[in-house]
Amino acid sequence: MKTNLEYKAEFLNPDMPEIPYSTLNLGPTHPATHGIFQNVLKMDGERIISGEQTIGYIHRAFEKIAERRPFYQITVLTDRLNYCSAPINNIGWHLTVEKLLKIEIPKRVDYMRVMVMELARIADHLICNSILGVDTGALTGFTYVYQMREKIYEIYEEICGARLTTNMGRVGGFERDFTPKVFDLTRTFLIEFPKVWRQFENLLSRNRIFMDRTIGTGPISVERALNYGFTGPNLRAAGIDYDIRSSDPYCSYEEFKFDIPVGTTGDTYDRFVVRNEEIWQSLSLVEQAMQKIETCENGIFHADEDRYYLPPKQEVYRNMEALIYHFKIIMGEIEAPKGEVYKAVEGANGELGFYLISDGGRTPYRLHFRRPCFVYYQAFPEMVQGQMLSDAIVIMSSMNVIAGELDS
Amino acid sequence: MSITNEEIISYIETNLGSVFEVQQDNYGVLTAEVPVHQLYKLVNFLYKDLTYKFNNLVTLCGVHYPDNKGKEIGAVYHIQSMTHRILIRFKVFAPIEKPELPSLTGIYAAANWMERETYDFYGIQFLGHPNLKRILNMDEMTDFPMRKEFPLEDPYRQDKSDFHFGR
Amino acid sequence: MNSQIQMTEAPPGVEGQGFFATRLDSVVGLARKNSIWPLPFATSCCGIEFMATMASHYDLARFGSERMSFTPRQADLLMVMGTIAKKMGPVLRQVYEQMAEPRWVIAVGACASSGGIFDTYSVLQGIDLIIPVDVYVPGCPPRPEQIIDGVMRIQDLIGKESIRRRNSEEYKKLMEEYMIK
């Protein structure tokens, strides 16, 4: 056992070899990583030199399961990809199947879908920004803002019955019409939420401590971001206004009026502010969707396609054709054409894509999820190089990596 | 002004010659099957090209067709031009005894993990990849689970016996 | 005396002037059950419902769990929330072994209890294959009220636990089955 003086003599010895870098395991179970992924960081004191990532700790083999399930049972799996904003995943999947089956969707269903998707986007950005606050030490924002997420949960419950993993909608529309209570709850939400969000913004956006911690941490240049395949708020914070809702509109987004907030340096503060602004845009979209629903004919909540959407029960008991369709849809034996489809929606984290190869059978031949978190998390070692350890936590939190989406 | 698929095909053919075989697609996306040795050249040309600017690798996934003898394992690339809003799809196939494809990490940094995932699921070796090892499954696994012959359920589990589940 | 303050029930015992005689088990159980320090091992969707349970609407802190300890060395209750894949199994096992006695485990959600909807090659079909579990909370994901119900059942278990339980033959046999030293 060496004594203290011996250690000190060794340290001050000029002939001693170079002190090697230290390794720190930002392990799979860590309070600040939102989900389980591991980063082994090589550090020089407090600065990070490089990082090696291990993911796959929650790999649930969605793509393999999807090869054994008929189309309507895969909605349940898509919920659990980005579980903070489950309706966007569900509706994205339904849009993919509708593209494959070439189903026309009525306008009212489109507006209802827009309303639900924008509420989900608000819910996801809420979590991301408030947890960014928690990671820098501001716990108050989280508790105030989470109450609003409970209000969104109430709206989901009224529409589909579940809070988090919603399994919302069907191929061709929704399973039931929106009750008046949904619109009442949404109107109350649209009145109460802006006040809470304004309070949260006042707490953090011009807060000296928060700005010092987040400005300049984890910047990424536009060329590197594009090369890494960034999409969504992370790319918009770097400077490119690419949004699938405007470049390749689906669900009648071309009729809505919204702006796309864009940052400059791609650092953490830009990502925070871009997400804040997107929440304001989503609020305006929800309002516009509700107004547009009122102009439509009442009562339509699904496409008029008996082959793919369950016929109403009165018809099933009277009509032979309806009975056959009901049977076929439940057993999953719908007539899907052979072909392949790629459809992308603007998820809360970026471009959520579904690549579906169908061979005419009841289950997909191959289903691949293009998950935005998986694609942009690769850039994390590059963003973190040269920063300090506490910055690494803040960068990871601002990128909004969700473990369910990372490992499918 | 929207750019049609025929324009792109003729542009590529005038510059590179006949490098791929266009397939029919009912949904309007230019789909082509590319032989293995032409892939890197084609993607590099499209990346550096300033007319169309295909600068975004959207996704890369594997497929397994056990019935196509000699071309069982393949990879499907979706490449997109953000400025002109075009999506094209390339398919590359290789025999199952020797599934080797060139790696695109030199062109797109996004291809790094996507190729690791495809290797993990299908066993495709990407030549030139800096760090080709398993990413989502356990490192000790020797099989490639997304191939069609691999079963979905774990055969050693005790509580969900096939008899009671009707399998 | 403010009549809105709720006091917990005193255990049965003999009371006199300046003394209260009861069983040691009851007093220790009472103290332990109202001050549980949980370790939230949140992996997936159930973790978000846990965040909702911890937030102000369904406050879990009123049950004594104000401080979430993220280090196993200082935690009493391991709350496993979410799917545990086979890759994560050794990590979970290591975290459990690092906890000091007395320790309890609650499996929140269908995935932690039995594998859930993911009957695949890569998901562990229930965490009771690797660690002993005290309470299972079903649901996908369970509502915050259900998670609180699970915590209350743990509180019942803790309150009624005998002091000699951890040294008994049955407990030692249980630990041997799981090969935990």
Asked if C35 has any chain B CB less than 8 Å from its own CB, the reply is no
3-state secondary structure of A51: strand
Q: pLDDT at position A118, please? A: 95
Q: Which segment of B116-130, C8-22, C77-91 scores lowest on mean pLDDT?
A: C8-22
Tell me the per-residue pLDDT of C1-18, one tens digit each, with 9 for 90 and over.
Answer: 567 887 777 888 898 999
Share of chain C above pLDDT 70, in %: 99
Residue B164 clears pLDDT 80, i.e. is over it: no
Q: pLDDT at position A90, please? A: 94
Q: Which segment of A81-90, A267-276, B23-32, B96-105 scores lowest on mean pLDDT?
A: B23-32
* Chains with 3 or more CB pairs under 8 A to chain C: A, B
Alpha-carbon distance of A12 to A271, in angstroms, equals 45
Asked if C117 has any chain A CB less than 8 Å from its own CB, the reply is yes
Q: pLDDT at position A274, please? A: 94
Contact C114 B159 (CB under 8 A): yes
- Best mutation site among A26, A34, A36, A53 for testing chain C: the one with the most C CBs within 10 Å? A36
Q: For residues C108-130, b (16+ Cβ closer than 10 Å) or e, as one string?
A: bbbbbbbbbbbbbbbbbbbbbbb
Q: pLDDT at position C163, please? A: 86
Q: pLDDT at position A298, please? A: 86
Report the candidate in A204, A272, A251, A226 with the shortest Cα–Cα distance to residue A346: A251
3-state secondary structure of A14: coil
Asked if C93 has any chain A CB less than 8 Å from its own CB, the reply is no
Q: pLDDT at position B68, please? A: 85
pLDDT confidence bin for C37, thresholds 50/70/90? very high
ipTM of the complex: 0.93
Distances (CA, A) of C179 to A135, C39, C102, C175, C176: 37, 22, 17, 6, 5
Q: How far is A315 from chain B (nearest CA, A)?
A: 32
Q: pLDDT at position B18, please? A: 79
Q: pLDDT at position A5, please? A: 64
- Best mutation site among C84, C119, C121, C122 for testing chain B: the one with the most B CBs within 10 Å? C121
Residues 6+ apart with CB under 8 A from C65: C36, C37, C38, C77, C151
Alpha-carbon distance of A141 to A201, in angstroms, equals 9
Contact C125 B138 (CB under 8 A): no
Residues 6+ apart with CB under 8 A from B96: B72, B73
Mean pLDDT for C144-148 is 93
Q: pLDDT at position B5, please? A: 83
Stretch (H or E) spanning A308 = none
In chain A, the residue whose alpha carbon lies closest to the alpha carbon of C144 is: A163
What are residue A386's DSSP bridge partners?
none
Considering the entire predicted model, what is its pTM?
A: 0.92
Closest partner residue to A56 (CB to CB) among B61, B63, B136 is: B136
Tell me the per-residue pLDDT of C121-131, one tens digit each, with 9 for 90 and over.
Answer: 999 998 989 99
Q: pLDDT at position A407, please? A: 86
Alpha-carbon distance of B112 to B119, in angstroms, equals 11
**Distance, CA of A66 to chain centre:** 20
State residue C72 phi and psi, 5-degree precision: -65, -20
Contacts with B, C 111-140, CB within 8 Å = 114-115, 119-122, 125-126
Q: pLDDT at position B49, please? A: 86
Alpha-carbon distance of A50 to A68, in angstroms, equals 41
Cβ-based contacts under 8 A for chains A and B: 89
What are residue B79's DSSP bridge partners?
B57, B88
Q: pLDDT at position A17, please? A: 59
- Best mutation site among B136, B141, B149, B165 for testing chain A: the one with the most A CBs within 10 Å? B136
Tell me the per-residue pLDDT of C83-92, one tens digit each, with 9 for 90 and over.
Answer: 999 999 999 9
Residues of A in contact with B26 (CB under 8 A): 337, 339
pLDDT in tens for each of the 408 residues of chain A? 556 666 566 656 666 556 678 888 888 888 766 778 888 988 888 888 888 899 989 999 899 999 999 998 999 999 899 999 999 999 999 999 999 999 999 999 999 999 999 999 999 999 999 999 998 888 888 888 888 899 999 999 999 999 999 999 888 889 889 999 999 999 999 999 999 999 999 989 999 999 999 998 888 999 999 999 999 999 999 999 999 999 889 989 999 999 999 999 889 999 999 999 999 999 999 999 999 998 888 888 888 888 888 888 888 899 898 999 999 888 888 888 999 999 999 999 999 999 999 998 889 999 999 999 999 999 999 998 888 888 888 998 899 999 888 888
pLDDT confidence bin for B9, thresholds 50/70/90? confident
Q: Is the distance from CB of A53 to CB of A407 less than 8 angstroms?
A: no
Given the DSSP bridges, would you call strands B56-64 and B30-33 parallel, antiparallel or unpaired?
unpaired
* Chains with 3 or more CB pairs under 8 A to chain B: A, C
Closest partner residue to B152 (CB to CB) among C86, C114, C120 is: C120
Contact B82 A247 (CB under 8 A): yes
Q: pLDDT at position A276, please? A: 94
Contact B152 A61 (CB under 8 A): yes
Contacts with B, C 51-90, CB within 8 Å = 86-87
Contact B110 A375 (CB under 8 A): yes
Closest partner residue to C120 (CB to CB) among A60, A127, A403 is: A60
3-state secondary structure of C127: helix
Asked if B141 has any chain A CB less than 8 Å from its own CB, the reply is no
Alpha-carbon distance of C139 to B120, in angstroms, equals 32
